[in-house]
A and B are shown apart, each in its own frame.
Chain A
Amino acid sequence: MRKDFFSPLLRILTVVSILAGCQKLALDELEIAERTSEYAFPVFSTRIGLKDLMLKVLKDSVGGDTIVINPDQTMTLFYSGNVAEKPASDIFRFFNFPEVPVPINDTFYPYPFNTLDSVYIRRVDVASGTLNLVVNNARNQPITGTFYILQMSKNGQPFSVPFLVPPRQTFISPPIPLKGYTLTSDNNRLEFRYEAYLPDGTRIKIDEVLPGIAGIGILIQGFTASYMEGYWGYSEYPLTRDTIDIDINQTNLKGNVKVKNPKVTMTITNSWGFPTRGVVKYLSFIGRDGKEYKLNSTVFFGDSIDFNYPSWAAGEVGQTKETHVVLDSTNSNIAEIFNAQPIRLIYEVAGISNARKDPSIVGFLTDKSTIALRMKVELLLEGSAQNFDAEQTLDANFGQVVDFDTSRIEAVEFKIATENNTPVGAALQLYFLDVQGRILDSLFTQTPPPFVVKSPPVDANGITVGSARAETFAPMNVARFNRIRQATSMRLNAAFTTAQEGQVPVKLLANQSIALRMGLKVKMRLGGKP
């Protein structure tokens, strides 16, 4: 009995042991257990320099604006209006000779030339122009003679044109160049004189062609002067009217922005050789609220200021003089105006010659004399801001992420890390937009959005000390993640606040920047049944 029992038991035990040890597992049929794994990886990084930001601001505003990086790395924004350049010829029009011959009604004939009423020209250097003399002989014998312009001479010789007119014929001289002649006058007129003789020596007056129409005349064409000298009396004329767009933020300007020391600089470049007074007809900022804020300043005499000019008496012919008018918080109400966040400056300036009506002043103009006026708004980037809003829209293309199977994703969490050595902090919100621009979702759910960028402390000069790091997390469930990955664009809204909650002025330096990086953690179920 014992033998019969023991023998098969041992054999069975042996077989079972062997089978237990040799159980085969097919790897290809192996199933990986379902588990939660978490993967962390970076998404993107960027660095925004304040210099780039400011250049962007300028790029989006009117042309001619510029940014100047000062030696201490501070930056100054210049918003410039158009240069209003007025050649003298635009204002003062002389010698508008008619396009038809000027009849000379007598052997001595004074001819007044065009000037403004208050201007007396005593010397003109002719730069160009020609003169044709026309003489008609109605008689049956030839006429000889000479035509003179007594106020015009060259090398000490007065201008003269001899003529010989056969009987019953008309003499037309070839064009006679006037360049190089100097014209002098003390009464704003030219005096023409001619002497005509018959063959027997009898001096005659050229017969009229028709009753009342002189038989002699001159045609002056292309007359220009390179230099005029005389007396400019009191006369008012327009100089410029322009608008300067100073919209620092191209979008919705919100928040309490204070610019510490804004300036408006008016620069007049003047080569007119007589005293000119600028009269500010209109100088106002337009606030974001649409209201007009008149810029008042003590630098003006009333509303006027005299421009520097090259003096004839001082031998400054051909020189250019500049006049700088600076309107700042020490001499104007500009600081108060900038607290209203102006978006443009409108100005209109007129000119008055010899405003003091000094009869002793000898003035001049050359063919190159101009007066140019440039108005600039100058903002040293020093100030403070609270919730200063800006926004930017970025194209987004999530590529393959759009097609990624998210059925196994449990949750995602964005992490935003910033390192900032600018004195500006920012609360950021990122809106994900569909192709129609509708908001699909936002990165942060809380309102207001978190301060993603923190500003480091500033010293007494408003310059940051060190940098500030901030980490912000944005957890998101799968439903939200599925929405945002469909986005075709993103709108970044930023509300900037300067250091110490915008309570102290800070300086923005060109070498300051904000580094922003984003990472992503994805929790997903892996393994299990496919």
Chain B
Amino acid sequence: MRKYILPPLLLRYMLLLKVTLIVSRGAAQQELMLYLSPETWHANTVNPALFLPEKNIFIGGPSLGLDAAHSGDIAYRDLLRREGKRSILDLSGAISKLQPENTLRIDQRNERALIGFRLGGWYLSGNWSQRTATTLTYTRALAELLWYGNGPFVGQLLDIGPSLSTIRWDELGVGLARSVGNRLCIGVRIKYLSGAAMLLSDEARRKIQVFTEPDVYQLSLQTDYAFYSSSFIAAVDTSGFGYDLSFNALKNRFGQNAGISGDVGLLIRIGRHLLLSASALDIGGRIQWKQNTAYFHSLGKFEYSGLFLPGTDILNGTVDSLDFGAALDSLNDVLNFQRADAKLTTVLPARYYAAVHWQLLQRWTLGAVLHHQRDERRQTTAVGFSGYWLPLPWLGVGVMYSINNRSATNLGLSAAVRLGPVQAFALSDNALNAITPYRSAAVNFRIGGALVF
């Protein structure tokens, strides 16, 4: 349990989410580049029908990946700077770049283990992954209020209730693929999902409004804000004008909040040089949150007009003291989050890929890929065009131009190294940002390794 006063707390939340975008270790992204790197074993994670030709055993090591972006042009360096050994959070530059409403999304995937076998015309695979999907929508007013105080916003109604959806889960998958003739391969994967943590705001109750009267700065705070939480926050205690948040006090054990999802994919080879592929991932993905799950609701209106001194007390000179504490006690009443046990089913975002590979030369391959992802709170679509080159027998490099919802100027790069059975790769759909994340509003990369026999 750590004690926070409200503004620093929210500030830290924002910071946490923002920084997670940049620094998280994991793997999951729009992954256009991965999809067009079929010689990389980890490409199997985006298409269960995809197996490396002429290989029989695949053991994937840890793989880290992140696909995250913030709307607008907010970059790491707009938030954080280094002074000597000190890391300093400074929102001054970032706030001016914020839109009235801003969205931060983070998809993170951490492949713990991958394994695959070829059994004649059948391909078996298994995986254990840890994944996180986060979307945060917040207003510029919230950032300004936290950073500059309410003084500059006298007379303005500030809507500061954020919309937040973050789900972290473990995934155990078993895949089966089968070649049908020489031109078709179909794959399917069934995944068992175990919810680890969840924080989901109630879209029907997003109101947190702050108003400072121009008169003498009377404060008004109105809330009808609610969120579901499992594991993240176990309790909210508003006594003492601040928040006592109980973080991670209740750990979800594996399987307590479970669900399933599925992946399907196919490959169609046309001639010697053309390969079509498509996949649908996380189909029907749902997690039922039953354990350690609660619904927190704050509903009320707080108005603080300062102390009221009866005029007769002033006339009689009997004003006792300026006791602000008692009046502010009522603030707790409106901010008090009522907790109730809850059950909830969350739907995971489904992803769809379709691609074409054309082997132009022996060592050159051209490709194009279409990606679409949708869930209840967002939809993203991206299309990329790539070239892949094998300059050396042990090295493959790729380049990609892609367009997505937030940018039409994404340059992707990939590199895959094969040293005997050892395979390692690093790739990014937005390579410049991955190299210089401090100046980037979006980051996408994935790295990993495998043993391929």
Contact, CB under 8 Å: B216 / A518:
yes
Any chain A CB within 8 A of the CB of B421? no
Docked complex: B51-82 residues within 8 A CB-CB of A: 64, 66, 80-81
Point out the residue from B154, B217, B417, B443 that lies within 8 Å of A520, measured CB to CB.
B217
Any chain A CB within 8 A of the CB of B323? yes
Write out the residue numbers on chain B whose beta carbons fall within 8 Å of the beta carbon of A398.
321-322
Write out the residue numbers on chain A whose beta carbons fall within 8 Å of the beta carbon of B25.
22
Contact, CB under 8 Å: B317 / A395:
yes
Contact, CB under 8 Å: B395 / A10:
yes
Size class of the A contact interface (CB-based, 8 Å): 35 or more
Any chain A CB within 8 A of the CB of B388? no
Contact, CB under 8 Å: A17 / B426:
yes
Binary per-residue interface labels of chain B (395-437) against chain A in the complex, 1 for a CB within 8 Å, 0 otherwise: 1010000000000000000010100000000101001001111
**Which residue of A6, A36, A42, A49 has the most chain B CB atoms within 10 A of its CB atom?**
A42
Any chain B CB within 8 A of the CB of A204? no
Any chain A CB within 8 A of the CB of B182? no
Docked complex: B209-234 residues within 8 A CB-CB of A: 212-213, 215-219
Any chain B CB within 8 A of the CB of A99? no
A420 to B187 alpha-carbon distance, docked (Å): 81
Any chain B CB within 8 A of the CB of A37? yes
Known contacts A3-B392, A45-B306: A11-B15 contact under CB 8 Å: no
Contact, CB under 8 Å: B217 / A521:
yes
Quote the shortest CB–CB distance from B58 to chain A (angstroms): 21
Contact, CB under 8 Å: A20 / B89:
no
Known contacts A16-B435, A45-B308, A395-B319: A519-B215 contact under CB 8 Å: yes
Any chain B CB within 8 A of the CB of A511? no
Point out the residue from B23, B150, B322, B447 that lies within 8 Å of A44, measured CB to CB.
B322
Any chain B CB within 8 A of the CB of A394? yes
Contact, CB under 8 Å: B66 / A46:
no
Size class of the B contact interface (CB-based, 8 Å): 35 or more
Contact, CB under 8 Å: B151 / A18:
no
Any chain B CB within 8 A of the CB of A168? no
A393 to B445 alpha-carbon distance, docked (Å): 70
Tell me which of A23-31, A63-71, A176-184, A294-302 binds B. Answer: A23-31
Write out the residue numbers on chain B whose beta carbons fall within 8 Å of the beta carbon of A5.
none
Known contacts A396-B322, A399-B324, A415-B217: A46-B415 contact under CB 8 Å: no
Known contacts A48-B314, A395-B319, A395-B320: A518-B149 contact under CB 8 Å: no
A401 to B321 alpha-carbon distance, docked (Å): 11
Point out the residue from B16, B92, B324, B415 that lies within 8 Å of A14, measured CB to CB.
B415
Q: Which residue of B lies closest to A39 (CB)?
A: B149
Contact, CB under 8 Å: A399 / B325:
yes
Write out the residue numbers on chain B whose beta carbons fall within 8 Å of the beta carbon of A43.
216, 306-307, 322
Point out the residue from A27, A38, A399 that lies within 8 Å of B323, measured CB to CB.
A399
A523 to B437 alpha-carbon distance, docked (Å): 35
Contact, CB under 8 Å: B216 / A517:
yes
Known contacts A32-B11, A39-B150, A44-B307: A397-B434 contact under CB 8 Å: no
Contact, CB under 8 Å: B445 / A395:
no
Any chain B CB within 8 A of the CB of A339? no
Quote the shortest CB–CB distance from B63 to chain A (angstroms): 12
Contact, CB under 8 Å: A20 / B434:
yes
Point out the residue from A18, A42, A492 that lies within 8 Å of B219, measured CB to CB.
A42
Quote the shortest CB–CB distance from B210 to chain A (angstroms): 11
A374 to B324 alpha-carbon distance, docked (Å): 50
Contact, CB under 8 Å: B325 / A27:
no
Any chain A CB within 8 A of the CB of B1? no
Any chain B CB within 8 A of the CB of A400? yes
Contact, CB under 8 Å: A45 / B322:
no
Q: Which residue of B lies closest to A469 (CB)?
A: B215
Point out the residue from A14, A26, A33, A44 that lies within 8 Å of B426, measured CB to CB.
A14
Any chain A CB within 8 A of the CB of B101? no
Docked complex: A38-74 residues within 8 A CB-CB of B: 38-49, 52-53, 56
Binary per-residue interface labels of chain B (109-131) against chain A in the complex, 1 for a CB within 8 Å, 0 otherwise: 00000000000000000000000
Write out the residue numbers on chain A whose beta carbons fall within 8 Å of the beta carbon of B218.
42, 519
Known contacts A27-B15, A53-B315: A397-B306 contact under CB 8 Å: no
Write out the residue numbers on chain A whose beta carbons fall within 8 Å of the beta carbon of B306.
41-45, 517-519
Known contacts A31-B87, A47-B311, A517-B306: A399-B321 contact under CB 8 Å: yes
Q: Which residue of B lies closest to A392 (CB)?
A: B317
Q: Which residue of B lies closest to A524 (CB)?
A: B149
Q: Which residue of A lies closest to B413 (CB)?
A: A17
Contact, CB under 8 Å: B89 / A33:
yes
A374 to B325 alpha-carbon distance, docked (Å): 52
Contact, CB under 8 Å: B15 / A394:
no
Binary per-residue interface labels of chain A (394-418) against chain B in the complex, 1 for a CB within 8 Å, 0 otherwise: 1111111100000000000001110
Any chain B CB within 8 A of the CB of A155? no
Contact, CB under 8 Å: B92 / A35:
yes
Docked complex: A251-309 residues within 8 A CB-CB of B: none
Q: Which residue of A lies closest to B315 (CB)?
A: A56
Write out the residue numbers on chain A whose beta carbons fall within 8 Å of the beta carbon of B428.
17
Contact, CB under 8 Å: A52 / B445:
no
Contact, CB under 8 Å: B89 / A30:
yes
A17 to B445 alpha-carbon distance, docked (Å): 9
Q: Which residue of A lies closest to B308 (CB)?
A: A45
Any chain B CB within 8 A of the CB of A174? no
A22 to B148 alpha-carbon distance, docked (Å): 31
Docked complex: A497-521 residues within 8 A CB-CB of B: 513, 517-521
Contact, CB under 8 Å: B216 / A37:
no
Known contacts A43-B306, A45-B308, A519-B217: A11-B417 contact under CB 8 Å: yes
Contact, CB under 8 Å: A521 / B317:
no
Contact, CB under 8 Å: B315 / A392:
yes
A43 to B213 alpha-carbon distance, docked (Å): 13
Quote the shortest CB–CB distance from A99 to chain B (angstroms): 55
Contact, CB under 8 Å: B321 / A33:
no
Known contacts A10-B415, A20-B437, A395-B320: A44-B308 contact under CB 8 Å: yes
Contact, CB under 8 Å: A395 / B217:
no
Contact, CB under 8 Å: B324 / A42:
no
Contact, CB under 8 Å: B216 / A395:
no
Point out the residue from B88, B317, B392, B417 that lies within 8 Å of A33, measured CB to CB.
B88
Q: Which residue of A lies closest to B92 (CB)?
A: A35
A49 to B89 alpha-carbon distance, docked (Å): 52
Known contacts A47-B311, A392-B315: A21-B434 contact under CB 8 Å: yes
Point out the residue from A17, A30, A38 that lies within 8 Å of B148, measured CB to CB.
A38
Contact, CB under 8 Å: B215 / A41:
no
Contact, CB under 8 Å: B19 / A27:
yes
Contact, CB under 8 Å: B443 / A30:
no
Any chain B CB within 8 A of the CB of A157? no
Contact, CB under 8 Å: A395 / B321:
yes
Quote the shortest CB–CB distance from B66 to chain A (angstroms): 7
Contact, CB under 8 Å: B87 / A30:
yes
Any chain A CB within 8 A of the CB of B183? no
Any chain A CB within 8 A of the CB of B310? yes
Contact, CB under 8 Å: A397 / B320:
yes
Any chain A CB within 8 A of the CB of B362? no
Contact, CB under 8 Å: A23 / B314:
no
A18 to B391 alpha-carbon distance, docked (Å): 22
Contact, CB under 8 Å: B322 / A27:
no
Quote the shortest CB–CB distance from B254 to chain A (angstroms): 26
Quote the shortest CB–CB distance from B385 to chain A (angstroms): 22
Q: Which residue of A lies closest to B438 (CB)?
A: A20
Any chain B CB within 8 A of the CB of A7? yes
Given A22-B25, A46-B310, A395-B318, 11 more pairs with CB closer than 8 A: A6-B392, A7-B395, A13-B415, A17-B435, A21-B66, A27-B12, A41-B150, A42-B219, A42-B305, A44-B308, A401-B322
Q: Which 4 A-B pairs have the closest CB atoms?
A: A38-B151, A397-B321, A519-B216, A42-B306
18 A-B pairs in the complex with CB atoms less than 8 angstroms apart:
A18-B426, A22-B64, A31-B86, A37-B148, A38-B151, A40-B217, A42-B219, A44-B309, A44-B322, A45-B305, A46-B309, A47-B311, A396-B319, A397-B320, A397-B323, A399-B321, A415-B217, A417-B216
Question: Residues of A at under 8 Å CB distance from B?
Answer: 3, 6-7, 10-11, 13-14, 16-18, 20-27, 29-33, 35-49, 52-53, 56, 392-401, 415-417, 492, 513, 517-523
